[in-house]
Structure 1
């Protein structure tokens, strides 16, 4: 088993809140969660497949969670003795159902088995998705009691993970809470997402003073977008909320934002000359598709003491600044 490094004592005399095992720590949401955990006084033990750059204050342990020997994760939990485990690992933009099943279902099953077999009993915070619910008609907010008939393979794979966690809690095999996230936006938003694609086209298309041609699918939908920093705060709250055990809690902005407005906002914030081109639809959409989504967050306020703070402008500004900095080596304003 790879060396974890010299681990301090969780909740010891150094005044830290305790140690958190953060799975998927180098991913988009994982990086934001790790930052929030550290700010809240936790020691971060980061676990991911690839040793991408992480803060020097984090300890890093390389592991492919879905492919590793089951005993390896048990040994890691026993050695680290974490106060909590946050599962931010998984596939979102994968084109294949097999990869999503592998990362969003098998990984969760192995994690739960490891938690049941390990000596410590840390709190598990599983990051799920509002796409586990059935699409609702315009004007109907998603709640924790909404029907669970996902319209996509991604939603189905995430729902499998959520139900596995619920079953483990029901049988006493886990102390866990599931946070169902809406569409997360912020610094490091993946290129595979719509706004990530727009940012990439703006950066690449305006080289040498050119006007970028930003090509997108028809922008006719509205979605609930939540800021990555708000999501990270919700994770910290879930670690500390005794009443969260066994609950599924939505984490979202509580509003439906037209996707066109978000794209226009990104183009405006970039300050880059651009021409927006909506590609024609080449195939009919599934009858289960919907053009509208908003998510009720009253349970998060009650159970976690959490509510969203940041605006669409905040999250899009963070997205743009990070994308421009990564490409140009300096913050592009």
Structure 2
């Protein structure tokens, strides 16, 4: 039976969080956004100031008792460019406090915690990772996210918290942050729209193969997990189930923009390219979910979202 009550989206003003809010609202659910500060953009959802990095577990529990949501979606912890200590404080500790708070409540909301495929760490090219894979994160971000996931799963499997974990692949689509690969490329392309010049796009080596999924498909997976109450303490990977060369995304965005561009890869390429491909069969079996949008649609809609106002989308031959 689907959980009743409102949906509290922690980090609801972020890239993934905004799409999760919209997906629940489209289904007629009352959505509440929680975060450190209100969004500078207009928002149709009530906002609650809730800084998981600063609140104690007891303070957080008191706020949850006041709101009494039926569903809690935890999208916090998606950060980059921090030290290991800052990464832990932003990506691990907030979830640990959240789990402690949820465990003490007088009611049991359904939690969907969003993890990251970077929790798996480096794997050999051609490998498909999934429930059978032992995570061995090799970055500070991956280690912090794994700690958060393990905290959530332990509480779920012990019966203290109701919910499940989704490990998200690389995310693409409208609203992708400027720090992302597509964001970096789009910034240079947008600066050259309407000018008689070639955009020079400087990037780190583009030798990696990654599993990408559209942010709107990821939001649909979150909804499926929230309503799949028969599954508790399960980790499900969400992606397209295919590793694609990241260079192909860059080339596609450049083509869609219609802006002449030259890509400059800076630095030495690794001897063995980074690779990540997910096993999405459990998502299909347990959640009835599968990706619906192609990578081309994701990139097209992303450019439509960020291209300078008044500029028509065009493609180069």
* Cross-structure match for 2:295: 312
* 3-state SS of paired residue (2:230): helix
Q: CA deviation at 1:26?
A: 0.6
Of 267-276 and 297-306, the range deviating more from structure 2: 267-276
Q: CA deviation at 1:330?
A: 4.9
Q: Write out aligned runs for 1:98-117 (5 A).
A: 98-117=85-104
* Cross-structure match for 2:35: 48
* Cross-structure match for 2:6: 19
Judged with a 3 Å threshold, the aligned counterparts in structure 2 of structure 1 residues 168 and 218 are, in CA distance, closer, same or farther, namely same
What do the CA deviations read for 1:133-185 (whole angstroms, capped 9, x no partner)?
Answer: 14221211111111211121111111000110111113221012000000011
* 3-state SS of paired residue (1:112): helix
How much is the aligned-residue C-alpha RMSD, in angstroms?
A: 2.0
* Cross-structure match for 2:156: 169
Match of 1:132 among 119, 136, 144: 119
* Cross-structure match for 1:212: 199
* Cross-structure match for 1:5: none
Taking the aligned partners of 1:331 and 1:208, their CA distance within structure 2 comes to 12
* Cross-structure match for 1:33: 20
For the pair 1:260 / 2:247, whether they are aligned, the reply is: yes
Alignment check: 8 A CA contact 1:82 1:120 kept: no
* Cross-structure match for 1:120: 107
* Cross-structure match for 1:154: 141
Judged with a 3 Å threshold, the aligned counterparts in structure 2 of structure 1 residues 46 and 292 are, in CA distance, closer, same or farther, namely same
Match of 2:218 among 220, 231, 243: 231
Taking the aligned partners of 1:217 and 1:30, their CA distance within structure 2 comes to 28
Taking the aligned partners of 1:307 and 1:187, their CA distance within structure 2 comes to 19
Taking the aligned partners of 2:256 and 2:14, their CA distance within structure 1 comes to 25
Alignment check: 8 A CA contact 1:244 1:304 kept: no
* Cross-structure match for 1:180: 167
Alignment check: 8 A CA contact 1:169 1:176 kept: yes
Judged with a 3 Å threshold, the aligned counterparts in structure 2 of structure 1 residues 65 and 330 are, in CA distance, closer, same or farther, namely farther
Of 48-57 and 94-103, the range deviating more from structure 2: 48-57
* Cross-structure match for 2:76: 89
Taking the aligned partners of 2:152 and 2:201, their CA distance within structure 1 comes to 41
Of 126-135 and 48-57, the range deviating more from structure 2: 48-57
* 3-state SS of paired residue (1:292): coil
Highest relative contact order (Cα 8 Å, sep 6+), 1 or 2? 2
Q: Any gaps of 5 or more consecutive residues in structure 1?
A: 1-10
Alignment check: 8 A CA contact 2:73 2:111 kept: yes
For the pair 1:248 / 2:231, whether they are aligned, the reply is: no
Match of 2:275 among 272, 279, 292: 292
Figure out how many residues of one structure are paired with residues of the other and give that number.
312
What do the CA deviations read for 1:91-116 (whole angstroms, capped 9, x no partner)?
Answer: 33233212210121100111011111
Taking the aligned partners of 2:200 and 2:176, their CA distance within structure 1 comes to 20
Q: CA deviation at 1:40?
A: 1.8
Q: CA deviation at 1:332?
A: 4.7
Judged with a 3 Å threshold, the aligned counterparts in structure 2 of structure 1 residues 128 and 207 are, in CA distance, closer, same or farther, namely same
* Cross-structure match for 2:304: 321
Taking the aligned partners of 1:278 and 1:53, their CA distance within structure 2 comes to 34
Taking the aligned partners of 1:56 and 1:24, their CA distance within structure 2 comes to 13
Q: Write out aligned runs for 1:61-76 (5 A).
A: 61-76=48-63
Q: Any gaps of 5 or more consecutive residues in structure 2?
A: none
